Amino acid sequence: SVNPDLASERQTASFSVEKLTALLDGGAEQTRIRRAVVEAIESDPVFSRENQYFQTQNERYEAAVRKAVHLQKKMHEMGWTENGPEYKYIYRALSGDVAFLLHRVFMRSISVLGSDKQIAKWIPPATQHQLIGSYAQTELGHGTYLQGLETTAVFDIATQEFILNTPKISAMKWWPGDMGRSATHTVVFAQLYIHGKCYGIHPFIVQIRSLQDHSLCPGVTAGDIGPKMNFEHIDNGYLMLKNVRIPRDNMLSKFCEVRPDGTYVRQGSQKINYFTMTTVRISLISDEVLTPLMKACTIAIRYSAVRRQSKLKPGEQEAKILDYQTQQEKLLPQLAAAYAFHFINDYLQKLFDRGYREIQRKNFDMLPELHALSSGFKAVITHHCTAAVEICLRACGGHGYSLLSGLPSLYTKILASCIYEGENTILLLQTARFLIKCFMAASTGQPVPPSVTYLAAVKPEKCPAKKKSDFLNPDIYTEAYQHVAVRLISSTAAKLQDLVQSGVKKYDAWNQCTVQLVQAAKAHCHYITVKNFAETVEKLETKAGIQRIMKHLCDLFALHGIFSNTGAFLHDGYVSAAQMDMVTASYLDLLAVIRKDAVPLVDAFDFTDKSLNSALGSYDGQVYQRLYEWAQKSPTNKMSPAYERYLKPLLHNTLSKL
Amino acid sequence: AAAMSMNADLRRERAAATFQPELLTHILDGGPERTRRRKEIEALVLNDPDFQHEDLNFLSRSQRYEQAIRKSSLMVMKLREYGIADPEEIFWFKSFVHRGRPEPLDLHLGMFLPTLLTQATPEQQDRFFMPAWNLEIIGTYAQTEMGHGTHLRGLETTATYDPATQEFILNSPTVTSIKWWPGGLGKTSNHAIVLAQLYTQGQCKGLHAFIVPIRQLGTHEPLPGITVGDIGPKFGYDEMDNGYLKMDNFRIPRENMLMKYAQVEPDGTYVKPVSDKLTYGTMVFIRSIIVGDSARSLSRACTIAIRYSAVRHQSELKPGEPEPQILDYQTQQYKLFPLLATAYAFHFVGAYIKDTYHRISGDINAGDLSELPELHALTAGLKAFTSWAANAGIEECRMACGGHGYSRCSGIPDIYVTFTPSCTYEGENTVMMLQTARFLVKSYTQVSSGQQVTGTVSYLNDLSRQRIQPQHVAARTVTVRINDPLSLVEAYKARAARLVEAAAKNLQAELNHRKSKEDAWNRTSVDLVRASEAHCHYVVVKLFTAKLSEVSNAAVRAVLTDLCLLYALFGISKNTGDFLQAGILTSAQITQVNQHVKELLAVIRPNAVALVDSFDFHDVHLGSVLGRYDGNVYENMFEWAKKSPLNKTQVHASFHKHLKPMQAKL
């Protein structure tokens, strides 16, 4: 039965939860397909995550391999294919707890970087899992800066082979998933040398383990890099190569080729290749970033409606902690952010689909803008959502600290997203470089891409709000965000120019302004997110209360951003001190409004209990009973050898000299 | 492994420092003699083969618990053998043995024994204290329940007195009343001090403490009527058997209620305690430890991140030149140096609270409690303020180490998961901030009604003066000199005053609109927390600034002054809105502040490694491959990884079980 404290929350929903779920899924039909996939996966005991929190690294890894193998069978059984509508829901249904994710990257890099001949040779056996691939780019000493990679591939004309080497310890490949224990092959990125001349980084297919007995190939040293904060199920690996020889044909050669005589030939445009890298940053947002945040919100908000602590009114029952303003102020902005980023993700996906079509028609005009957007939004969304999950975790007090709450593993997993696929600070600086360039262009009247045309527009110098309800007008707050973005970008551009004019070298000037540049890039992304949220709300159907509640969330997201960064808006007097008090008042009022729909708003994310895997966040709200039952399953509750070995002598005073 | 020399980058960093790190270490320890003694105890532990063991990162939870209990047993024995009895020295010893981690006897040593000393009658001490001292009895302190943490009065466990048998009958009447979280309860303890609602003669007399045996002496099996166990895996605290305890009509003799203060007579008559203010003192003490812990944990994370950033090279700053140390990037300095300054600030705050506690504990024993309310309010807020900042700071340090920070070999994940519960335990931080706010609002009300207030809130007195002679915003701003710490203290003071006033006024406005006081308080609580934060921030800046004048060595004072300025200015740049809105600083001054922060980063840069060396963490204690003193990071990461459990066999078992059959089938 459902805990009455949670049941009552659902009775008063101001909107149709089912309609909102369909909106999030992109249509009722999508919801139906997703639910069918989830049902098929969750009803199969092989995919169970029931004991996940009690398992060791070795056990987690083995389970992930087992699931990956079983998944092949399942897909065949269900008639799911990689191009079918079900495919994108499988990973979500598994909560990512499956091996061979890098195998997919291995295959994609061959498809993108390989010649037709190479694709024909490698893709069929890879599809059949006759070999398992990984993708070895990052080294112990190099991550962000690809040109700095130290692995070498020297062409030997005599044997028509490349000789691969790890010349020093910092050149060891480090981190690639599936490489520590599973992979038989990997794409290695190495500096290509022909006749003693370096031609830069190129990809090579290298076999690392025997296809017969899985032992390491001669010259190969590989293993697992040891325990991490999460991803215990993945065997992130290291790889050292000593005079490993591979045939000339193993260099992926769609764009660059080494001819038998050692001639180096570059062919075609790599732009489409860069574009592929760029899209990865966007494609990870949904599964790796938004899903964990939505789960964390679901757990924390349901728990806050069940947990009662202290009294709000004397003589009454203890209050739900969700009724405390401070608790609302922790959780509801995170909920609003989950929706805001869901909509910006939709926007980015559509933009990238369009970009893809243009690029296929050899029109590369959109590339710089898409690159800047993907870098900036990857950084801003991963950073924001990671912080948000941690807030959810800490808002659950002591019980949030238990692994059984599900929150620690959501947190440790999402926070890796701030680092992989481009370290966030570096990415923001790439966006900033684009913004500065566009600002310069706009100020001299040159055309700029659509997302930055606002840099050229002339806008009022003061915020026109007269009363606190004015701040519930999307035009008012969107313009305030725009103003801040323009101010930060233009002042940083001016500063850069000043420095250069005063004789500072360009690169020094850049480094001296990087803190400001990062702030400018963030402000730009924040503005676009707010603007997109407001525009999305505008277009929603008014039926079933959806538009109204989304409008509240949009307002909350926007005002929370101002409330937590007041200085940026007050700085040049755009928002006055009195107006800022109106913002605060409006913002705090909204908390109480959204509070009423908080539980339905997380119900709409439509996570099953199995997928949440949380003693605190289940749909029925039977928190304490579940916590107690799950704890009893802990291996620590089997008799520990510690008693006989240490406790008994201690208690019986047989330890010498005690 | 062959002895390796020091990494060249770190050697260069250390040679370039403008001050002697040992001198700063002495200041942090409280004098050269304390440093010497600390290192002596450290050597005692670290050179002892009994305290060596495999890297804990490679052990399962059960194995980690087992190691911890082994070391704890030896620790108790050796402490007595060496005659170490000073609380601070015991703390050092314990911290070196367990490398800054919790251990299963923490609650026995830190709560069970002290509670016996303070709340047991002489007769009870005879019965329990020596057996507990000799570890025949191992106890814990069972207060928190599954459904109740913060709000003590809501605890549901009952102890009903039965005059017929002269026993208390203990019960856990609901699932939510199960005791949950107490350390050492799950597997280690055979006794617990249980907090329960006392019922006698049909009336509830509120919470009282009872000594409850939970496991059979000899067999260690749970006693009939007792259900006890481990609450399962957590984010951290793997060494600790946090436990649950459920009692079903479990009877204990009347003499097992701790009766130094309140009593139940044989016939069931209840005798009230005299005063409960005394418990304030203990809370102040425990919170001072958490503030110190915030400083230490953040210092460890900074040590790792800054040393690693001096060793790691990446990308290009100048075209054509070798890859620079990542510590040379402004964005990296901007992440790390303010945290370094924060770690120093919190060290001084922690020392201040501890000294103040010791100074007035004589007064407390003599019954003079006049200073206690303020100290209690202040430490509540500072506990929250410092633990929040340290919690976030540790994560920033980890992020600043990129991918390698995510590996457990960096040591930072462990620091984080061990530290983060301090935002919750001993008073949930938001609740703590609201306690401080209550005191601030009370002081503000006093000032408004014409009374003077003293101590850290005395700046509120100025508010009434301002009301008499309203100053123009511009008139107040010109006084702030951004290069002068004392002037910045004034700016923080003005910010605190403004936010306290705003919160108090909003509270009053709510009160005018609503009937319920509690409702009004709740609707103002976000403002109130902000006011408390501003107050605590002011106190930290003030204490850091005050410390500068105590430093005699000019070179050390210079570098601490840079850090103090950075701490104060960075705090302004992160909260510009408060200073702008109140008219304390102009936009032009804010721009100067931002600029000056960046200049200070460059000033501190040459001393960064020496400043973390001064924290003087031994490599074993630091537990980080990235933060090693010698900087030989990459070689040792490889050595470390080879020991991973997944590397135990060359071909993993799952190959034969799953991979091979699949390849055969397809």
Residue A260 contacts residue A65 (beta carbons within 8 Å): no
Instruction: With beta carbons less than 8 A apart as the criterion, state whether A102 and A177 touch.
Output: yes
Chain A contact present for B390, CB below 8 A: no
Query: SS in 3 state form for B570-600?
Result: HHHHHCHHHHHHCCCCCHHHHHHHHHHHHHH
pLDDT bin (cut points 50, 70, 90) of residue B469 is: very low
Residues from chain B contacting residue A77 (CB–CB below 8 Å): none
Distances (CA, A) of B264 to A646, B195, B256: 38, 15, 11
DSSP B655: I
* Closest chain A CA to residue B77: A658
Q: Which residues of A are catalytic?
A: 421
Please tell me the distance from the alpha carbon of residue B367 to that of residue B365, in angstroms, as a whole number: 5
- C-alpha A99/C-alpha A224 separation (Å) is 14
Percent of chain B with pLDDT strictly greater than 70: 95
pLDDT tens, B231-260?
999 999 999 999 999 999 999 999 999 998
As a whole number of angstroms, the distance between CA B463 and CA B486 comes to: 20
Q: Please, what is the angle between helix A367-395 and helix A271-284, to 10°?
A: 20
Q: For residue B217, which residues of chain A lie inside 8 Å, CB to CB?
A: 651
Share of chain A above pLDDT 90, in %: 85
H/E run at residue A206: strand A197-207
Question: What value does the CA radius of gyration of chain A take, rounded to a whole number of Å?
Answer: 27
Mean pLDDT confidence for B647-660: 83
Residue B477 has pLDDT above 70, yes or no: no
pLDDT at residue B506 above 60? yes
Q: Do residue B638 and residue A394 have CB atoms under 8 angstroms apart?
A: no
Nearest CA-CA distance, residue A650 and chain B, Å: 7
Residue of A nearest to B640 (CA): A226
Cα-based torsion angle of the residue sequence B499, B502, B506, B511 in order, rounded to the nearest 10 degrees: 90
pLDDT of residue A561 exceeding 90, the answer is yes
Q: Which two tokens stand for residue A517?
A: 């540049």
C-alpha of A634 from chain center: 31
- Please give, rounded to a whole number of angstroms, the shortest distance from the CA of B331 to a CA of chain A: 6
Separation of alpha carbons B296 and B76, rounded Å: 24
DSSP track, B513-546 = H-S-HHHHHHHTHHHHHHHHHHHHHHHHHHHHHH
Q: Percent helix, strand and coil across chain B, each rounded to 5?
A: 60, 10, 30
Task: Give the type of residue at B596.
Answer: H
Quickly state the pLDDT bin for B470 (edges 50, 70, 90).
very low
A630/chain B closest Cα distance in angstroms: 8
Give the one of A226, A415, A657 whose C-beta lies nearest to B644's C-beta.
A226
Reference B334, options B595, B659, B627, B148; nearest CA is B595
Name the residue among A69, A310, A429 with its Cβ closest to that of B662.
Answer: A69
- B288 closest CA partner among B42, B91, B454: B91
ipTM: 0.94
Is the pLDDT at B478 greater than 60? The verdict is no
Helix (H, G, I), strand (E, B) or coil at B445: helix
Report the pLDDT averaged over residues A260-264. 96
d(CA B533, CA B551): 28
Cβ–Cβ contact B234 with A under 8 A: yes
- Please tell me if residue B519 touches chain A, with a CB cutoff of 8 Å: yes
B524 and B503 Cβ atoms separated by less than 8 Å: yes
* Total CB pairs under 8 A between chain A and B: 367
| pLDDT of B475 strictly over 50 | no
CA dist B225 and B248 (Å) reads 5
Q: What is the pLDDT of residue B642?
A: 93
pLDDT at A294 over 50: yes
Handedness of CA A238, A240, A244, A250 (dihedral sign): positive
For the segment A242-254, the average pLDDT, to the nearest whole number, is: 97
In tens, the pLDDT along A31-90 reads: 999 999 999 999 999 999 999 999 998 999 999 999 999 999 999 999 999 889 999 999
Among partner residues B233, B399, B582, which is closest to A403 by beta-carbon distance? B233
pLDDT, greater one: A354 or B275: A354
Whether the pLDDT of residue A485 is over 90: the answer is yes
Sequential DSSP letters for B228-293: EEE---BSS-TT---EEEEESSEEEEGGGB--SSSEE-TTS-EE--S-STTHHHHHHHHHHHHHHH
How does strand B158-162 pair with strand B191-200?
A: parallel
Residue A545, sorted as left (phi over 0), alpha (psi -120 to 50) or beta, turns out to be left
**Residue A636: its chain B contacts at CB < 8 A?**
61-62, 65, 186-187, 230, 232-233, 241
Give the pairing type, strands A133-136 and A185-194: parallel
Which chain B residue lies closest to A76 (C-alpha atoms)? B666
pLDDT, tens digit, for every residue of B365-393? 777 778 888 888 999 999 999 999 999 99
pLDDT tens-digit map of B518-555: 999 999 999 999 999 999 999 999 999 999 999 999 99
Please check the confidence at residue A654 and state whether its pLDDT lies above 70: no
In sequence order, the β-bridge partners of residue B196 are: B208
Give the CA angle between residues B285, B93, B619 to the nearest 5°: 110
E strand or H helix at A559, and its extent? helix A546-563
d(CA B302, CA B338): 10
What is the mean pLDDT of the segment spanning A297-309? Answer: 97
pLDDT at position B467, please? 55
CATH of the domain spanning B136-271, picked from 3.40.50.720, 2.40.50.140, 3.40.50.300, 2.40.110.10: 2.40.110.10
Closest partner residue to A318 (CB to CB) among B151, B425, B644 is B151
Interchain proximity A401–B235, CB inside 8 Å? yes
Q: What are phi and psi of A645, to 5 degrees?
A: -75, -45
B22 belongs to the catalytic site: no
The pLDDT value recorded for residue A544 is: 84
pLDDT in tens, A336-345: 999 999 999 9
- d(CA A344, CA A349) in angstroms, rounded, equals 9
Q: Which CATH number, 1.20.140.10, 1.10.10.10, 2.160.20.10, 3.20.20.150, labels domain B282-451+488-613?
A: 1.20.140.10
The shortest CB-CB distance from A227 to any of B57, B150, B335 is to B57
pLDDT at B474: 39
Q: What is the pLDDT of residues A105-162, one digit of tens each?
A: 999 999 989 999 999 999 999 998 899 999 999 999 998 888 899 999 999 999 999 9
- The domain segmentation of chain B, as residue ranges, is 22-101, 136-271, 282-451+488-613
Helix (H) or strand (E) holding B376: helix B372-400
Share of chain B above pLDDT 90, in %: 79
Alpha carbons B398 and B603: distance in angstroms, whole number: 24
Give me chain B's average pLDDT, please: 92
Task: Please tell me the CATH superfamily of domain B22-101, with its number.
Answer: Acyl-CoA dehydrogenase/oxidase, N-terminal domain (1.10.540.10)
Tell me whether residues B62 and A636 touch, CB distance under 8 A: yes
- Domains of chain A with bracketed CATH: 1-9+271-628 (1.20.140.10), 116-267 (2.40.110.10)
The answer on pLDDT for B141 being more than 80 is yes
User: What part of B 313-352 touches A (C-beta under 8 Å)?
Assistant: 313-319, 323, 329-331, 334-335
Place of tokens 């490949």: A173
Contact B310, B328 (CB under 8 A): no
How sure is the predictor about B277, in pLDDT bands with cuts at 50, 70 and 90?
low
What is the reported pLDDT for A490?
A: 96
The pTM for the full model equals: 0.95
State the pLDDT at residue A87.
Answer: 94
Q: Please give the average per-residue pLDDT across B269-276, as a whole number.
A: 80
A138 is annotated as contributing to ligand binding: yes
On the question of pLDDT at B611 being above 90, the answer is: yes
Q: Please, what is the Cα angle at B282 between B280 and B288, to 5 degrees? A: 100
Which tens digit of pLDDT belongs to each residue from B302-334?
A: 999 999 999 999 998 888 899 999 999 999 999
Answer yes or no: do B331 and A53 touch at CB < 8 A.
no
For the segment B347-359, the average pLDDT, to the nearest whole number, is 92
Q: How many residues comprise chain A?
A: 658
B174 is in an annotated binding site: no
Q: How far is it, in rounded angstroms, from Cα B338 to Cα B335?
A: 7
Are the Cβ atoms of B523 and A512 closer than 8 angstroms? no
Q: Quick one: pLDDT band at residue B465, thresholds 50, 70, 90?
A: low
